[in-house]
Structure 1
Amino acid sequence: MPLPRPPSADPLVALADQCVQCGLCLPACPTYRHERIEAESPRGRIALARGWALQALEPTTAGDTHLDQCLACRRCEAVCPAGVKYGELLVEARRRQRTRRKPAVPQRAIEWLAARPAALRRLMAAYRWLWPLLPAPLRRLPRPPEAVAAPPRIDARSDRPVAALFVGCIAPAYEGAAHAALATLFEACGIGLRIPTGQTCCGSLHAHAGDTDTAADLARRNARAFADAAQVVTLASGCHGAVAAALAPGARVADALDVLDAARDRLRFRPCDARIALHLPCTQQAVAGSAGALRRLLAAIPGLEIVVLDAGFGCCGAAGTAMFMDATRAASFRAPLLAQLESSGATRLLSANIGCRLHLANGTAVPVQHPIEFLASQLATSC
């Protein structure tokens, strides 16, 4: 048995050295399942990043492509017996990659907009207006719905618990109905909801592209915006990890589905004789951990039939900016899920991450919703 390596002073090498190269991550990795080559696996990318860090390997276009094509789903972390922090390793590897290879202009434009939610909201309002006039290739996202009034700010003197909702960057254009639905469900549970001003993008998109400086700045801004919040809730599983890491130690950050599940005895749902499809995003399973809560909440709706979309490679392929930067490849990950959806006969599709929802909705005519919206639509009474 080989002796363990001494700890490296290089943080990337230290993270890489935790990998024992067992290969248990391979079946969990969407890109390995898609390509069936070692370079598209977590351990292949770990070896590549380590080789670059030790200057044992020269950076190449092919190597950069393999690192680029990681979907940052972190499914490998969930099955790793050695506890390798692959997410941290990927961010550091891409940070170093970014210092020697500047990102493409479209990538930089998306990052710029995500860090400026007000500008993004104006752009999405224009996109909604122009959408019917645009040719299909330019409809890179579904048409934003009509605006829905935000939940009112709860009086701080109220004696009931109040949760602060993290909104993020793109959500205001698409999630107004989900925010209103969450306020309705929380009201039934005796919980107030407010949306703090001053918050911004969670920074995951930037960190996953190696722009750690911007990600850190966004984290500081969110920490200030939520400094007085006793409870913070997230709706997008892709934002959850970054929000939890950004806030002060001890801050209570929870997926909204977990909060509702804890108060499930206060909710009553009407029977629903329907078949729905359920998509469980990678980040919901590997980071937020709210898949079980969602299943229990849906199981509380009498008569509901659920088809879990599990065809294909384990990921829808949205992966932050991947659905824009490599649309053809992203669509190849999505295709098996949409085929399963089509054959299932489901009347709607639920997914708890906004990026996944937008990517899936752009490939199907079946209505795609946040599960919160569907749960609120079935709410009967509260006790």
Structure 2
Amino acid sequence: MGDGGADAKRDLLAAADRCVACGLCLPHCPSYRVARVEGESPRGRISLIRGWAAGTLAADTALQTHLDQCLGCLNCQTACPAEVDYQALLTGVRAQLPPTGHGASRMARWVVAERWRLWLANGLLRLATRFGAANWPWPAAWRARLAGLPERPPARLRPAPERSSWLFGGCLSAPLDDAARVAAAQLLARLGQPVHDAADSGCCGLLAQMAGDGTTATRLGESLVERLHDHGVDQLISVSSGCHGRLRELLRAERIELTDLASALDKGLTSKPMAFAGPAVHVVMYEPCSQRAHIGGGTWSRLLQRIPGLSLVRLDQVPTCCGAAGAHHLQHPAQSGALRDELVAAVKASEAQWLLVSNGGCAQYLRAGLRGSGVRVAHPVELLAERALGPLDPNRAAQRLRDRR
């Protein structure tokens, strides 16, 4: 997109004109699934963007509401036969319109904008998890937000500066992904690839980018890349699918290899097979939007099929998005809640014991919806590690990793 307003509008018009209004995106759009109105579909939003950029529509409340209620899942972009760059359209128009967002979503973006705020927030999240804050008598709104905290106290991996491979778990989701990162580090170490934990390396700028704040997104991204170079990182392994697309943008011109965790494990297990064991189990592998949009599906399911006695339960006719969508669920709880409720009902009806999700934010949101159901919500790497290495004690695992430095 161009820097000036006129240039940006020309760029938006050019991108919007690629849309042929075929409507093949509609069945894949979660906001259209809930609202069933044209303005809540990708086709409708592209038409609104075209009208605003051409000067025939004003940026009134109705137009901004339709744009705000897009979850940014990019399922439409994946399905589009005309290859419309919907992400560029959405972030481009949001950058030109006045900022919106409720207090909670603005607070999330404010926290990740500075490393010290992020460090403090992560520490508070870890304390909240350790002391079972989800069970405290909070007001209903806070109870709903804290219900997705992990039920087990998290562990932290300690840095290993001499290692050139880093695990990247995200920023705000990092405390919620501690168990996943410990499991990933253990499996990778067993496969001959020791890694450094990058949990406190800062934010990639994705939340700011989704909100249309290109200045903050650029600053955070450049700062992260600079830290990676300062530490001599050769390879970055993304644990959570949410950040992967943004990391790919940042590292496209850098001499740092970006690999998603599923691909790293698939490669390692192909060259160095491991034995998996344990009781029979029924699991649902729910691939987040970010997995499908930025990485591709199927690898986690293929890895899980290495486990004897594991049955993958397929959910039919469920939403393509769980409703979390970064900080979107904080700003639009009713819309997001409708999507989550439909998915949660399908998981409960499946009688699966595990719901596996490769994105920390999605896992937290779904964990809150399934709290008390008996369904364990976890990252797929946690089940793989448990069946390959035995029950995972996160604190002992972290200590063993520190001892190997």
TM over 0.5: yes
How big is each residue's C-alpha offset from its partner over 1:180-210, in whole Å with a ceiling of 9 and x where there is no partner? Answer: 1011110122111112486212221111111
User: What is the aligned partner in structure 2 of residue 354 from structure 1?
Assistant: 360
Q: In structure 2, what is the Cα distance between the partners aligned to 1:181 and 1:237?
A: 16
User: What is the aligned partner in structure 1 of residue 118 from structure 2?
Assistant: 117
User: What is the aligned partner in structure 1 of residue 396 from structure 2?
Assistant: none
Contact 2:26–2:42 (CA<8 Å) still a contact in 1? yes
In structure 2, the gaps of 5 or more residues are: 1-6, 391-405
State how 1:290-309 maps to structure 2 within 5 Å.
291-309=297-315
State how 1:75-94 maps to structure 2 within 5 Å.
75-94=75-94
How big is each residue's C-alpha offset from its partner over 1:278-324, in whole Å with a ceiling of 9 and x where there is no partner? Answer: 211111112122x2210110011111011134443211111111211
Q: In structure 2, what is the Cα distance between the partners aligned to 1:280 and 1:69?
A: 22
Q: How far is the alpha carbon of 1:104 from its aligned partner?
A: 3.5
Q: How far is the alpha carbon of 1:20 from its aligned partner?
A: 1.8
How big is each residue's C-alpha offset from its partner over 1:61-101, in whole Å with a ceiling of 9 and x where there is no partner? Answer: 1111111111111111112111111111110111112xx34
Q: 1:252 aligns with which of 257, 273, 276?
A: 257
Q: How far is the alpha carbon of 1:133 from its aligned partner?
A: 3.6
Q: How far is the alpha carbon of 1:248 from its aligned partner?
A: 5.1
Contact 1:272–1:378 (CA<8 Å) still a contact in 2? no
Moved more, 128-137 or 321-330: 128-137
User: What is the aligned partner in structure 2 of residue 313 from structure 1?
Assistant: 319
Q: TM-score, normalised by structure 2?
A: 0.85
User: What is the aligned partner in structure 1 of residue 347 from structure 2?
Assistant: 341
User: What is the aligned partner in structure 1 of residue 379 from structure 2?
Assistant: 370
State the percentage of identical aligned residues. 37
Moved more, 255-264 or 131-140: 131-140
Distance of aligned partners of 1:15 and 1:272 in 2 relative to their CA distance in 1, 3 Å threshold? farther
Q: In structure 1, what is the Cα distance between the partners aligned to 2:334 and 2:220?
A: 30
User: What is the aligned partner in structure 2 of residue 29 from structure 1?
Assistant: 29
Aligned: 1:235 with 2:244: no
Q: 2:203 aligns with which of 186, 196, 201?
A: 201
State how 1:170-189 maps to structure 2 within 5 Å.
170-189=172-191
Q: In structure 2, what is the Cα distance between the partners aligned to 1:298 and 1:198?
A: 29
Q: 1:107 aligns with which of 102, 105, 108?
A: 105
Q: In structure 2, what is the Cα distance between the partners aligned to 1:80 and 1:189?
A: 39
Q: 2:217 aligns with which of 187, 211, 215?
A: 215
User: What is the aligned partner in structure 2 of residue 3 from structure 1?
Assistant: none
Q: 1:270 aligns with which of 272, 277, 280?
A: 277
Q: In structure 2, what is the Cα distance between the partners aligned to 1:164 and 1:287?
A: 19
State how 1:127-206 maps to structure 2 within 5 Å.
127-128=128-129, 129=131, 130-131=133-134, 132-139=136-143, 140-141=145-146, 142-144=148-150, 145-150=152-157, 153=160, 155-156=162-163, 162-196=164-198, 199-206=201-208
> Which amino acid in 1 is paired with 2:194?
G
Q: How far is the alpha carbon of 1:337 from its aligned partner?
A: 1.1
Distance of aligned partners of 1:8 and 1:235 in 2 relative to their CA distance in 1, 3 Å threshold? closer
Distance of aligned partners of 1:40 and 1:257 in 2 relative to their CA distance in 1, 3 Å threshold? same
Contact 1:301–1:378 (CA<8 Å) still a contact in 2? yes
In structure 1, the gaps of 5 or more residues are: 1-6, 157-161
Moved more, 119-128 or 47-56: 119-128
Distance of aligned partners of 1:79 and 1:102 in 2 relative to their CA distance in 1, 3 Å threshold? closer
Provide the secondary structure at the position in 2 that maps to 1:263.
helix
How big is each residue's C-alpha offset from its partner over 1:198-239, in whole Å with a ceiling of 9 and x where there is no partner? Answer: 621222111111111111111011111222222111111111
> Which amino acid in 2 is paired with 1:56?
T
Contact 1:277–1:348 (CA<8 Å) still a contact in 2? yes
Contact 1:275–1:305 (CA<8 Å) still a contact in 2? yes
Q: 1:285 aligns with which of 292, 295, 311?
A: 292
> Which amino acid in 2 is paired with 1:229?
V
Q: In structure 2, what is the Cα distance between the partners aligned to 1:221 and 1:58?
A: 36
Q: How far is the alpha carbon of 1:346 from its aligned partner?
A: 1.1
Runs of 4 or more above 6 Å deviation = none
Contact 1:151–1:179 (CA<8 Å) still a contact in 2? no
How big is each residue's C-alpha offset from its partner over 1:221-278, in whole Å with a ceiling of 9 and x where there is no partner? Answer: 1111222222111111111111111125153111111111122232321144111122
Q: In structure 2, what is the Cα distance between the partners aligned to 1:8 and 1:94?
A: 11
Distance of aligned partners of 1:173 and 1:9 in 2 relative to their CA distance in 1, 3 Å threshold? closer
Contact 1:151–1:183 (CA<8 Å) still a contact in 2? no
Aligned positions, number:
367
> Which amino acid in 1 is paired with 2:386?
S
